[in-house]
Amino acid sequence: MEKTATDDYLKGLNDVQYKAVTQVKGPVLVVAGPGSGKTRVLTYRIAHIIKTGVAPYNILTLTFTNKAAKEMKERISKVVGKVAGQVWAGTFHSIFSRILRNEADKIGYSNNFTIYDTDDSKSLVNAIIKEMNLDKDIYKTNAIRNRISACKSNLVSPTAYKNIPSNLADDKRSRIPYFHVIYERYVLRCKRSDAMDFDDLLFQMYVLLHRHEDIKKKYQERFKYVLVDEFQDTNFLQYEIIKKLVVYPNSENNICAVGDDAQSIYGFRGATIENILNFEKDFKGIQVFKLEQNYRSTEHIVQAANEVISVNKNQIKKSIWASKGDGEKIRLIKTLTDNEEGKRVIDSILEQKNRNHLANSDIAILYRTNSQSRVFEDYLRRYNVPYKVFGGLSFYQRKEVKDILAYFRITINHNDDEALKRTINLPKRAIGKTTVDKVIAVANKNNEPLWNCLLKAQIPKRAYNNISSYQELIKMFGKRLEKLNAYELANVIIKESGLYKMFKGDTTVEGVTRQENVNALLDGISEFVADNEGGLEGSTGLAAFMASVALHTSADEKIDDNNYVTLMSVHSAKGLEFKSVFVVGMEENLFPSFMSTDTPEGIDEERRLFYVAITRAEQFLTLTYSNGRYKFGSMRYNSPSRFLTEIGEKHYDTLIVPKKQASFSKSGAQTSGVSGNFKKSVKASNFKVDSATFVASPITAIQVGKEVLHLSFGKGVVKNIDGGASNKIATIFFEGLDVPNKRIMLKFAKLQVVN
């Protein structure tokens, strides 16, 4: 398609962007390097589809943050006007939640079902473990919840799980033989409460499309064009749902996937890089457009990123190039301790502010783990530099906010067990734990929601009267759901529940902060009502507000315009950009993380994470590492990160660069040291472990004298085990290594006992 004078919105596109925007028919893959104008291509593509005569409501755009969806709609509206609001644009969870509410009766839910957040899910798992009298040190709540999440993400129901003998055998070896029972009870309890967790929004969406051919056809006809942003971050289940919507007889396969395999960094959440790598195999006749011009960063930064990512074997080949000139070389800072690292970084920030006239908001410190922020915070405070740490507690996760939201939830859905447990004695109504436990016992026996059993348990008269009053209060709130908007009803609930009086009565500093948070919540609800666009189909009711809040993520938190230095993990920084970026803690076992060095896939993902980190920088990039770092109360010594040696020396502004005297085995294990006179080379073991048959044994199976296998070090013998109960360290002799005795912390180790 040729450019025309009337297509003003197409004028600013480069040739590849233009082709990606205007090729609207058939399957399209847009491989978008960092800073290459991905969002512009995606939004203009949607606008162009509308311009060709397609109705906006026939377009589905799936994103990973609500903020991205909102920004897209705003940009599209500048081209096509208000009709942009009719485009189905939102996160996977928000779009699927909307569809599920419309079709809830088909899968046995009400359209006011509750969405459980992480805390709700943990609370429910914990309650089930307690009811079953299981050892909480073995059946760890987080681990069990994550296992349930993994099952759902791979379309494994409780019934399917227990019908696979290898699953039960693995659980027995891992000392959690009752996992399948917990999983089954968890699903039944959610259904009883008319609740879905985040994974259910995907799982139940698949079930809806899989079991109901008429519903599937309805949405296939509705969504004639499907676009997916950040496609490299999709998991198995998300992709299966996408294919249900796009792949059918006589389909034009009008799907556009936009993403960058080099920025796939969420494997720990279940993201599957194979989705983007295999996209061409799934859709024949696909057209691929590679956005390789980087508008964000200077040449040294871009070429350093290219050199790093080129080490990964499994990738879509592309060559990113910069259009902003060479720019400054990369600065490399070596320190003796992490404390010195903190001081040197803040000194460099002050220097950049003075020499290059940077504002605090132009600068970011990125680290691999959130625990690294402390030392930088110490020095920023000492030098009186304003800063903000991201990745902490979300506004909607604060206790006082969650307490109020629990009242909103029980008002909307009386069957919500977790909301009921949180609100029944808040403020205190003399309804004690013993009374609540009796109600829970009756509910479990009858397999009914707690709400139905509140007055069925054998409880003292005073508690009975108090429970009766609580129930009448919630019923009264419920009757006003259809009469009042979200802001009006929120005020009623907060005041008449007694929460307002409780918060007002706390005059401590913490209490005043809680009151401010309550007011901020009410302001947000007022804004929601005024906007009349955040809820389901424009509703201003409390149910619509709660539907939007339940799908709120940390990535949607507002970043204000205050002038502060940003501190965050690299994972949190994805999608952001800063004039100056400091990537700190560039050491082996920290970045790359020691938890990822056992497999080539793990190292590849760590390298992609580093690629994301350095491509956040526009003009100035500083990499730092320390010879020594305090961990678990003692000084630990690490080599410089292997990633530092993958950047050519010509891109550094110093001659003191770690030398690549090493190569790394297929598993990612270091076979000779990365150094600049740091460490002696280390020979790898000749014994190779087959990763396909490797199964890690439980910690309790690791005993002195046992032969064990390690993916990187090969076969070894346990010589000694020391340390506390939760921090046991094994000394293991691995024959064939230059340094054969390795000390490995068992709670992080992956070892297989040889039978």
Active site residue 67: no
Task: Give the CA dihedral 394, 399, 401, 402, nearest 10 degrees.
Answer: 90
Residue that is written with structure tokens 């691999």 in the block:
368
Specify whether the backbone of 229 is left (phi greater than 0), alpha (psi in -120 to 50) or beta: beta
Active site residue 616: yes
Q: For residues 742 and 755, what is the distance between their CA atoms, to the nearest angstrom?
A: 21
Helices (H) and strands (E) counted in the chain, each on its own, are 29, 22
Q: Which of 17, 38, 185, 293 is catalytic?
A: 38
Q: For residues 349 and 365, what is the distance between their CA atoms, to the nearest angstrom?
A: 10
- Encoded tokens for 327: 């720019």
Question: How far out from the chain centre does Cα 686 lie?
Answer: 38
Kindly report the three-state secondary structure assignment for every residue of 326-369: CCCCEEEEEEEEHHHHHHHHHHHHHHHHHHCCCCHHHEEEEECC
Q: For residues 570 and 365, what is the distance between their CA atoms, to the nearest angstrom?
A: 9
190 phi and psi angles, rounded to 5 deg = -60, -45
Q: Which of 7, 197, 229, 416 is catalytic?
A: 229
Q: Which of 23, 39, 86, 553 is catalytic?
A: 39
Q: For residues 490 and 496, what is the distance between their CA atoms, to the nearest angstrom?
A: 10
Active site residue 38: yes
3-state secondary structure of 714: strand
- Encoded tokens for 311: 């080490």
Query: Order of strands across the sheet with 59-63?
Result: 88-91, 59-63, 225-228, 255-259, 28-32, 287-291
Q: Which of 230, 233, 260, 418 is catalytic?
A: 230
Q: Supply the DSSP symbol for 617.
A: E
Name the nearest CA neighbour of 403 among 514, 504, 483: 514
- Encoded tokens for 437: 């436990």
Return the bridge partners of 745, or none. Answer: 729
- Encoded tokens for 612: 């994301």
- Encoded tokens for 755: 């039978």
Q: Supply the DSSP symbol for 623.
A: E
- Encoded tokens for 727: 């921090």
Enumerate residues 6+ apart whose C-beta is below 8 A from 182. 125, 128, 129, 132, 134, 139, 144, 148
Q: For residues 306 and 262, what is the distance between their CA atoms, to the nearest angstrom?
A: 10
Write the DSSP assignment of 65-118 as a string of letters: -HHHHHHHHHHHHHHHGGGGGGSEEEEHHHHHHHHHHHTGGGGT--TT-EEE-H
Active site residue 263: yes
Question: How far out from the chain centre does Cα 57 lie?
Answer: 29
Q: For residues 453 and 457, what is the distance between their CA atoms, to the nearest angstrom?
A: 7
Active site residue 106: no
Residue that is written with structure tokens 């901020």 in the block:
520
Q: Would you say 612 and 573 are in contact if contact means Cβ atoms under 8 Å apart?
A: yes
591 phi and psi angles, rounded to 5 deg = -145, 90
Burial of 616 (0-12, 13-18, 19+ CB in 10 A): buried
Q: Which of 263, 293, 566, 670 is catalytic?
A: 263
- Encoded tokens for 692: 């396909």
Active site residue 230: yes
Q: Would you say 222 and 450 are in contact if contact means Cβ atoms under 8 Å apart?
A: no
CA dihedral over 471, 473, 478, 479, signed as positive or negative: positive
Name the nearest CA neighbour of 308 among 678, 609, 652, 46: 609
Q: Would you say 164 and 180 are in contact if contact means Cβ atoms under 8 Å apart?
A: no
Q: For residues 457 and 442, what is the distance between their CA atoms, to the nearest angstrom?
A: 6
Return the bridge partners of 720, or none. Answer: 731
How many residues can be counted in the chain? Answer: 755
Q: Which of 514, 616, 679, 715 is catalytic?
A: 616
Crossing angle (nearest 10°) for helices 542-550 and 92-102: 140
Residues with a catalytic annotation lie at 38-39, 229-230, 263, 616
